[in-house]
Structure 1
Amino acid sequence: MRVLFDVTHPALVHLFKHPIRALEERGERVHIASREKDVTTSLLDAYGIDHVALTTASGGPLSRPREFLVRELRLVRLARSLQPDVVVSQVDPAAAHAARLSGARCLVFDDSEPEWAAAALTHPFADVVCTPATFERELGAKHRRYAGYHELAYLHPDRFTPSRDRLERAGVNPDQRYFLVRFVSWNAHHDAGQAGFSPSAKRRLIDTLARHGTVYICSETSLPPDLRRYRLPVSPTLVHDVLAFADLYVGDSQTMATEAAVLGTPAIRSNSFAGDDDMGNFRHLETEYGLIRSIGDEDEAVRQAGAFALTPPTKTWQRRRERLLDETIDVASFVLDTITEVGAR
């Protein structure tokens, strides 16, 4: 079987890395079309996954449509040369169109209801669209739901065990009280019109948390000089170890908030998505499991982060996590099984 993965974001490296390895171990022919976005290609290199970088993410109002066009042309050309049986992606029109134009089947993983525009250009060309069971839209006959979240493809305990030794060797003391903060760039196509922490709120947040422990910042954008001393001093491959032992996660990242939740790390997420029209997975993780607090107002988010930092961690979050794990699946196995089924048709 020939499988082409479209990997355009760091989160997709993690979502697909275990299925990629399993397919390669079975002797399948696996190809990865990557994108220079944040640490995407660095992660692929660190995990020893061969890939071809087709485009580079950049800022500016005209850069995104220009990149989409270039990526579509290059991905179609690559797919036609490889003749894959199945193209696997998240919501990406280029991947869906490349599958259709190369005669491949198209498998899409979607967990973001707000991505209407990209979904409208992707879902019609997909053969199967897989979403978490909490996904709040119906996608018709091609829609498959699973009990879990994308992040359980790599942070399920069958797939990941955090290591104190790895952190200590990298200079992070897992027994020290510390907080992990994540800021994203907000320049993705689905982020148009949305925003996270403002520069002033970032400083207030760091000042607040620093009174109670060490602060580590993981940021997609360059930090101002006064905040650079807080930059996380470890390889991107160790960020989940850092997150697992953190006393609190605070940030405007969607993915890392869910990662914190499935690891049992208390999480405060603040961005303009949080509210009445929020994604189903965040609503469920907050109301059903109490593992995330999603707060649209950045000042309130800073206040709650400070209040939480005053309180020593308890075992409450781990009990909540255990319940979540009892009610969800190893998503990597689901991804692998679905690729095998769709690619063999």
Structure 2
Amino acid sequence: MRVLFDIGHPAHIHLFKNVIKNLEKGGHAVKVTARNKEITKDLLDAYGIPYENRGEAYNGLFKKAIGMIKIDLELYNIAKKFDPDILAGVHNPYIAHVAKIMKKPSIIFNDTENVKIAKILTYPFATVICTPSCFKEQVDPGKHVKINGYKELAYLHPENFVPDPDVLKSIGVLENERYIVLRFISWAASHDIGLQGIERGKELEFIKTLEEFGKVFVTSERELGSELDKYRLHISPEKMHSLLYYAQLYIGEGGTMAAEAAVLGTPSIHIESTSSGRPTGEFIGNFSELQNRYDIMYFFARSDEALKKGVEILKNENSKDEWQIKRDVLIKDKINVAEWMTYFIEHYPDSFHECGGLI
């Protein structure tokens, strides 16, 4: 079998890396394409995954529209040479378009609701759409497969991930020293239009409050002013999950990182609101489940409310141990998603008929 994976975001590398390794061990040919965005190249290189560049990232609706045509064409030319049996991506319109043109099946993974533009551009052309079982949107039942797990469990399930304590030395943290990871995003993605997070201009005040309980490390997609830059985290991207594992708290605007921290057993707080002021976590199935079923992650619309909850957690000296117990419950309930994805791809289309409902 020949499988083409397209990487649209660094987080997709984590999702697919174990699946790629499993498929290659099984004797299958794998092709990876990616765009030049953020840390994508560094991360692919760090994991030793060869890839072909299929174009630049585009910001702004007009540029994204023009860019889509260019990327579709570039990806088509790459795929035509590789001749895949299956094409796969994460809410990836390019994969769906090219697969449709080539009359090949496309498998689209998605765990994010309310991304209207991407949904319109992707779902009608996709062959299969895989989501967590807690996904809140309706999907065509003739295409939909539900997975009893989150995408983060494709790479952070205990069978797939062992934290590296040496990461602490690399950031100058002593054993048992408390630290907090804070995330700022760029808000440039199409699914971020109309959303907002930590109040602009209040970032330093936010950090100073957290700093009373430990070191604060900032990871940011956007430029930071000189007063914030001293907090910026300087670490190889492949070490980020070990850093999250040992943290006392994750808090910030990055939804993927919030879910990652939660499944690692680290107290996690996501800050993001709609234009009407409602927390976006209310509309996202995995966030709602992580908060309401497992009490392992919280989401807020306002940064002052989030900070108040963060302080409450940091004041509890037993919070880290309590979260590890919550994580154990979660892991017992969920599956190793990388194993499931490997099986589904290897045995497609029979796997679709076997797994056409809840796995």
Q: Gaps spanning 5+ residues in structure 2: where?
A: 352-359
Instruction: Tell me what 1:288 maps to.
Output: 293
Instruction: Tell me what 2:156 maps to.
Output: 155
Residues 237-271 of structure 1: CA deviation (Å, up to 9, x unaligned): 10100000000000011100100110010011101
Instruction: Tell me what 1:300 maps to.
Output: 305
- Preserved contact between residue 255 and residue 270 of structure 2 (Cα < 8 Å): yes
Residues 284-303 of structure 1: CA deviation (Å, up to 9, x unaligned): 11000001110001221122
Q: 1:290 to 1:16 in 2, by over 3 A?
A: same
**Range with bigger deviation, 31-40 or 200-209:** 200-209
Q: Gaps spanning 5+ residues in structure 1: where?
A: none
Residues 45-92 of structure 1: CA deviation (Å, up to 9, x unaligned): 111100112122243453322222221111122122221100000111
**Range with bigger deviation, 234-243 or 202-211:** 202-211
Instruction: Tell me what 2:355 maps to.
Output: none
Q: Secondary structure at the match of 1:342?
A: coil
Q: Secondary structure at the match of 2:283?
A: coil
Instruction: Tell me what 2:12 maps to.
Output: 12
- Preserved contact between residue 59 and residue 189 of structure 2 (Cα < 8 Å): no
Instruction: Tell me what 2:231 maps to.
Output: 230
Aligned 1:129-208 pairs, distance under 5 A: 129-139=129-139, 140-169=141-170, 171-208=172-209
- Preserved contact between residue 8 and residue 34 of structure 2 (Cα < 8 Å): yes
Aligned 1:87-166 pairs, distance under 5 A: 87-139=87-139, 140-166=141-167
Q: Secondary structure at the match of 1:265?
A: coil
- Preserved contact between residue 174 and residue 245 of structure 1 (Cα < 8 Å): no
- Counterpart residue identity of residue 316, structure 2: T
1: distance between equivalents of 2:41 and 2:193? 24
Instruction: Tell me what 2:345 maps to.
Output: 339
2: distance between equivalents of 1:175 and 1:64? 46
2: distance between equivalents of 1:333 and 1:144? 15
Aligned 1:221-300 pairs, distance under 5 A: 221-273=222-274, 274-275=279-280, 277-300=282-305
- Preserved contact between residue 2 and residue 85 of structure 2 (Cα < 8 Å): yes
Tell me how many residue pairs correspond in the alignment: 345
- Preserved contact between residue 196 and residue 272 of structure 1 (Cα < 8 Å): yes
- Preserved contact between residue 132 and residue 150 of structure 2 (Cα < 8 Å): yes
- Preserved contact between residue 61 and residue 190 of structure 2 (Cα < 8 Å): no
Q: Does 1:330 align with 2:331?
A: no
1: distance between equivalents of 2:293 and 2:232? 33
2: distance between equivalents of 1:234 and 1:194? 28
1: distance between equivalents of 2:15 and 2:309? 31
- Preserved contact between residue 34 and residue 53 of structure 2 (Cα < 8 Å): yes
**Range with bigger deviation, 134-143 or 285-294:** 134-143
1: distance between equivalents of 2:50 and 2:175? 32
Instruction: Tell me what 2:218 maps to.
Output: 217
TM-score normalized with structure 1 length: 0.95
Give, in angstroms, the shift of residue 117 of structure 1.
2.1
Q: Secondary structure at the match of 1:68?
A: helix
**Range with bigger deviation, 75-84 or 326-335:** 75-84
Give, in angstroms, the shift of residue 40 of structure 1.
1.4
1: distance between equivalents of 2:113 and 2:96? 18
- Counterpart residue identity of residue 292, structure 2: T
- Preserved contact between residue 85 and residue 344 of structure 1 (Cα < 8 Å): no
- Preserved contact between residue 89 and residue 95 of structure 1 (Cα < 8 Å): yes
Q: Aligned residues: percent identity?
A: 38
2: distance between equivalents of 1:254 and 1:276? 9
Instruction: Tell me what 2:86 maps to.
Output: 86
Give, in angstroms, the shift of residue 344 of structure 1.
8.1
- Preserved contact between residue 150 and residue 331 of structure 1 (Cα < 8 Å): yes
- Counterpart residue identity of residue 129, structure 1: I
